[in-house]
Structure 1
């Protein structure tokens, strides 16, 4: 084309204008349909995609039956791409290799000889080095293909014919599963146990309307060639099979090997389906090197033909179940196998089917194959009976038949006229060899005639009776179950079922934190930091200007810290996420969403099972279980309700049966702890009555141990319940002046929680 000039078509042809959108839609739709129909989705009847069907048919044509010798894989691939499947040879070989891998296919269709890859992910040898033949399963899929069991069509070049679908005397779709990605749709069907499939199919023959709930009693779930444990709930499995969509959580199978002296090793013997062992080992080794799972010290691959992955815990005190839970979260030792039973119904319509629909599609196909093979056999019997009738006439008139053949110019026409024979009978007599005359005995001919007549009557009765047809199909399915039953090495169930241990997410997260001692420092202005180790000398600590030490406590990196604010809220901090001790730390209010007008009452290490006594500046409070104050978000958890000028003031451990309260007005009161209600949120009840001010300090103690306080000089004083009986009263009273030697600071010297 020259700029400014019209485009001139070559050789004087015409230019046809085409709407671009319509052209793209038409071509893309053709591509999409081709991908769906002829590449990605399996046929519900034989469970095969075109490439697999063509591989098996080509092997059949090469007479690579299970009891014959092997032939080079390159020979098979050459026939497939030359006659039936005009695609790349490597893609066809890859498909053939997968059909031979017993770790990829539950019931292999190809018997391979040579290097066909391994579970580590190593590829197979080149096709010129490997050999192949069909397995018994493949032979079952092809059984009856020469008996007009299925329709054939022309191949891509019109020179050959290929089956549209295989007879499928094996429930291949569910037994071996399938996966593929088409245009706008995909399929993912895990493998199952054949004996269970057969039991469900037999139930469906007896009860055509059997619900999925009944079928799932037989088909418990997938059965993977690599074993493993399915930890999905029964309700989830049932829903997946009912809708045709869902998934299954599969975990590695493991056990503990005792090494003596309290030490042990964890040995993984089965890994989830389609997980490459070499990549799994690499991932586990990375977790060890980066210390993302501190409980794990080492990983070794001691596998031979069987999988054996050895995991060494960091210490003998490590909980094996908790270690495995953390590895399930962090690696492919647990994977999710999706279920999307999107298949071609009748080989034409893509459809997501339920378990019952998939089985029904296979059973209906088996009935159609039975009818077609029966009709084929019936035609063979009829033709043979016709020929036998001619043979009997020829035997009874042998001399005359020989004379006609020797003397007549047109013996065929004369035979037909003389003995009232059909064209087929006359042709059969004329084609008979002389050596066959010795076999031409009336008894033999009549015996064969009677046997074939009896067989014909049976087949006609079969074709006329649907119950007899299903009875025959049930017998065929029963034979498959015998061959691949649970007592056979190939048919034995490999995947087990288990309930996933309900470990707390927090426990698993903690197991991923390396446990180290720290000292938590909180300043008066709310800055927090963590020093390594348990420090006892705080004189050398530095703070910002006008700031000083408020709280110092010993903890470990696996601990949770609870922060109680004057707004009555609790916040949760992970000790492993605290800033280091080199600087001044960070403000707590930036680590959580604490309001600017609120301050910190206390910070302490969370201890599950403990109870806390909370009190406000108005002297109101209640008891709360410590597990109820854990906050899962930055916003914290409101526990003690305060309003106006009221603020949260105190938080102490509620361990005992008596409560001692000292007010800012220096009034002292003791009352039973049982008079304070246990709540999860609220304002609480009045603990002590004041004219002015509020509570200065609180302590909960046991009547048997008495009350202890610490004065400003660090001296301990203990008073028994008998000595304090004058101070014991009902909750909510004003109280009286404290006992002798009680600190002027109005504080019990309460140690941190």
Structure 2
């Protein structure tokens, strides 16, 4: 029968063997016990000494082993092993990791352990094994344990009741603020930033001098966090919020400078300090990855020149790139700028509590008042005990002959002690001291020394009693000790606090200029400066617009301002919005970034139309037309709140896709064109405004195999430009295109059976330039005034030489460029 089988066990024998409890109650109680154990015994620091139990036990073990700053280093394995055996019954790795952190100058603002050997690096390199590394206490950690043997703190039994360990260290400086603390408990976490010891001790003195000091008074002394790795804190609002409530966010930025080489004209960004807890090696790798993915443009090389003299990361900036813009992209996209979330959570009387700056300082002062009181009481008792002994010795010296005679007559020491106690009214300690006197102490000189010592002790006792009876005296001692700590350990602040916020608007640093935005059929997008494309003579071959790739070709070309909004519309009817400068800049022949690295496209989704806006005017409309001729008009205000994942712009029929989108003023005249040479001109008001997700209505009847290839606005003074896939084009007066009703077949615009299908139709002005791109990636920019004007549906003139097997795929208009390049010059350039 199993021990746990109660079926045949009498009830009287079952008692005490198995206890039935509800599973939910047991789980709740067990998890609560576990949570409190983690909170109190593992993860959170005590507000009084700023230490977690593991750190406190490590330092106490080193104190027990007398590993003073001027003593020899001791193997870390020895300290770790003794800490585990005596105080901390957990994994050895946890103890060693905690010891290592106390010895890292990039983790603690003021190190509490002096390490010898490899204790890791800011690059994330792991420390050497504890059998190789050595350690001893620092002068500051000794100051944390000063007076611990004077009954200044409570002791408790260790885990197996063999020894006594301190529940807290006396800590004669506010270590919680000075070195900070980080920890994750159950359902809570702490993240206290480190501070400059001079400023914190000045804050303590301020609180002592003025118990009603306000936060502003304290911040006159405690300016803000002071991280061991330096850096720059951007703005004071986050600091103030953290100090006022115990929670806040502090923006920390790398310290950088821009160096310019006079000969080459190139710029370098030099990083000399990085934010607290940032891994330098991972930071450099993340920058390289962003450059590789073309999310950051303008960086040509990254080198780490850091050495024992300090940190130095060198970032080479391309000659034509703005180093300030590159730097701000780095701040925005990498850990060169971070938000340090402040959570000043600590244990107060064994309970976790969020503390503001004022309460942390008050709790520290209260603790030091207790430490000084207990230390004074210890010193007082010791002085009183010694004075009591000396008073007995003085009696013995006054009656030395009688004392000697009594001791000689006694048969034993206890008998002699008893005789002295009865004769001179002494107690046992006094009688014992007299019995133990040496003959040399019977001289007159020794008597005077006893008198002097007794007089000094009486003065000391009076002073100690005065300290115990005067709160002002005790506060004064705390202040004096704080000033002494400043003299011994104070140093200069490492982290600068800038007056401005870290939320720098990159747009303010980007020059306002015209750009050419290009998107290929394979989805590669890039932004180029307008100056890269000079005006050529009509009929020229053009220049390469991108890196040649088999079967790839430009599908869209767009001229826009660098600060304009760019709206991308996909074949699935979704809209995405970015600023033009967010599209990475590329050279004239570069491939560019894939659109999927810029926009979160779904599945087989592709971009089919791109428009730009200088502002989001609520009075404007978006007119959208599908390949099959379904048109929809929606107010632009319906797209004000564009999510990162995009918005539905139009509901599509199965098999249809969104082809063209136009921004209109609400009362424009629109022209629609088809591949087979038909056009339809109509008033915008004939298309009723619809909701964002509506389907739309039919704009014109399309013939077999026909499709919409263009849509534009008819503008006064403009001409209708028609360009074929074979490179022919013409300008026609707007008057040739009469306004018709929606839903008709339209007018004949071009004889496609003779001169090829229409690539696009656009309204241009004679003073503008025309930009065309062929399927082999060749781009040409010509003056619109050079294109012959003739009535529809005539052939026109050759506007671009297209090689056999290639065709024109898209066209755009742009402001006129004054400088012209001849074909001869272009051929040389190619």
How would you bin the TM-score normalised by the shorter chain? 0.7 to 0.9
* Count of residue correspondences: 623
Task: Provide closer, same or farther for how the CA distance between residues 665 and 164 of structure 1 changes in structure 2, counting only shifts above 3 A.
Answer: same
Correspondences of 1:734-749 after superposition (within 5 Å)? none
Offset at residue 217 of structure 1 (A): 2.0
Q: Is the 8 A contact 1:521 1:530 kept in 2?
A: no
Cα distance in 2 for residues equivalent to 1:209 and 1:397: 59
Q: Is the 8 A contact 2:236 2:497 kept in 1?
A: no
Correspondences of 1:541-620 after superposition (within 5 Å)? 555=559, 560=564, 576=583
Tell me if 1:189 matches 2:192. yes
- Matching residue of 1:429: 434
Correspondences of 1:121-132 after superposition (within 5 Å)? 121-132=124-135
Task: Provide closer, same or farther for how the CA distance between residues 353 and 559 of structure 1 changes in structure 2, counting only shifts above 3 A.
Answer: closer
Q: Is the 8 A contact 1:42 1:49 kept in 2?
A: yes
- Matching residue of 2:419: 414
- Matching residue of 2:33: 30
Q: Is the 8 A contact 1:559 1:606 kept in 2?
A: no
Cα distance in 1 for residues equivalent to 2:30 and 2:566: 64
Cα distance in 2 for residues equivalent to 1:581 and 1:304: 37
Tell me if 1:79 matches 2:88. no
Cα distance in 2 for residues equivalent to 1:397 and 1:260: 96
Q: Which of 237, 240, 244 is 1:238 aligned to?
A: 240
- Matching residue of 1:442: 447
Q: Which of 467, 473, 478 is 2:483 aligned to?
A: 478
- Matching residue of 1:497: 497
Tell me if 1:451 matches 2:456. yes
RMSD of the TM alignment (CA)? Answer: 4.8
Offset at residue 639 of structure 1 (A): 8.6
Task: Provide closer, same or farther for how the CA distance between residues 630 and 205 of structure 1 changes in structure 2, counting only shifts above 3 A.
Answer: same
Identify the range of structure 1 (26-35 vs 368-377) with the bigger mean alpha-carbon deviation: 26-35
Q: TM-score when scaled to structure 2? A: 0.66
Secondary structure in structure 2 of the residue aligned to 1:188: strand
- Matching residue of 2:748: none
Q: Which of 379, 401, 405 is 1:403 aligned to?
A: 405
Offset at residue 154 of structure 1 (A): 1.0
Offset at residue 289 of structure 1 (A): 2.8
Q: Which of 339, 357, 360 is 1:358 aligned to?
A: 360
Offset at residue 63 of structure 1 (A): 0.8
Correspondences of 1:338-349 after superposition (within 5 Å)? 338-346=341-349, 348-349=350-351
Offset at residue 446 of structure 1 (A): 1.3
Identify the range of structure 1 (92-101 vs 476-485) with the bigger mean alpha-carbon deviation: 476-485
Unaligned 5+ runs, structure 2: 543-554, 570-574, 602-607, 622-636, 650-660, 668-683, 689-711, 718-732, 738-762, 768-783, 791-811, 816-830
Tell me if 1:155 matches 2:163. no
Q: Which of 51, 56, 62 is 1:53 aligned to?
A: 56
Q: Is the 8 A contact 2:325 2:510 kept in 1?
A: no
Offset at residue 711 of structure 1 (A): 11
Correspondences of 1:277-296 after superposition (within 5 Å)? 277-296=280-299
Residues 202-252 of structure 1: CA deviation (Å, up to 9, x unaligned): 111122122222212221111011111111x32222111111011211111
Cα distance in 1 for residues equivalent to 2:715 and 2:445: 112
Task: Provide closer, same or farther for how the CA distance between residues 651 and 143 of structure 1 changes in structure 2, counting only shifts above 3 A.
Answer: farther
Correspondences of 1:313-392 after superposition (within 5 Å)? 313-346=316-349, 348-392=350-394
Q: Is the 8 A contact 2:297 2:584 kept in 1?
A: no
Correspondences of 1:515-526 after superposition (within 5 Å)? none
Correspondences of 1:101-120 after superposition (within 5 Å)? 101-120=104-123
Residues 353-383 of structure 1: CA deviation (Å, up to 9, x unaligned): 1110011111100000000000111101111
Q: Is the 8 A contact 1:113 1:131 kept in 2?
A: yes
Cα distance in 1 for residues equivalent to 2:73 and 2:24: 52
Q: Which of 11, 20, 29 is 1:17 aligned to?
A: 20
- Matching residue of 2:250: 248
Tell me if 1:304 matches 2:307. yes
Cα distance in 2 for residues equivalent to 1:423 and 1:365: 37
Task: Provide closer, same or farther for how the CA distance between residues 119 and 383 of structure 1 changes in structure 2, counting only shifts above 3 A.
Answer: same
Q: Is the 8 A contact 2:201 2:482 kept in 1?
A: yes
Q: Is the 8 A contact 2:566 2:577 kept in 1?
A: yes
Cα distance in 2 for residues equivalent to 1:497 and 1:47: 24
Task: Provide closer, same or farther for how the CA distance between residues 401 and 357 of structure 1 changes in structure 2, counting only shifts above 3 A.
Answer: same
Q: TM-score when scaled to structure 1? A: 0.72
Offset at residue 425 of structure 1 (A): 0.8
Q: Is the 8 A contact 1:174 1:190 kept in 2?
A: yes
- Matching residue of 1:728: none
Offset at residue 440 of structure 1 (A): 6.3
Cα distance in 2 for residues equivalent to 1:447 and 1:365: 35
- Matching residue of 2:679: none
Residues 403-449 of structure 1: CA deviation (Å, up to 9, x unaligned): 11111231111111222222221111112344544586222111111
Task: Provide closer, same or farther for how the CA distance between residues 39 and 255 of structure 1 changes in structure 2, counting only shifts above 3 A.
Answer: same
Secondary structure in structure 2 of the residue aligned to 1:332: coil
Unaligned 5+ runs, structure 1: 486-490, 523-527, 542-550, 593-599, 616-627, 654-661, 667-695, 701-708, 716-749
Cα distance in 2 for residues equivalent to 1:663 and 1:714: 11
Secondary structure in structure 2 of the residue aligned to 1:180: strand
Cα distance in 1 for residues equivalent to 2:155 and 2:473: 28
Offset at residue 31 of structure 1 (A): 0.8
Residues 254-306 of structure 1: CA deviation (Å, up to 9, x unaligned): 11223222222111111111112122222222223333212111101111124
Task: Provide closer, same or farther for how the CA distance between residues 415 and 115 of structure 1 changes in structure 2, counting only shifts above 3 A.
Answer: same
Offset at residue 641 of structure 1 (A): 5.5
Cα distance in 1 for residues equivalent to 2:9 and 2:197: 63
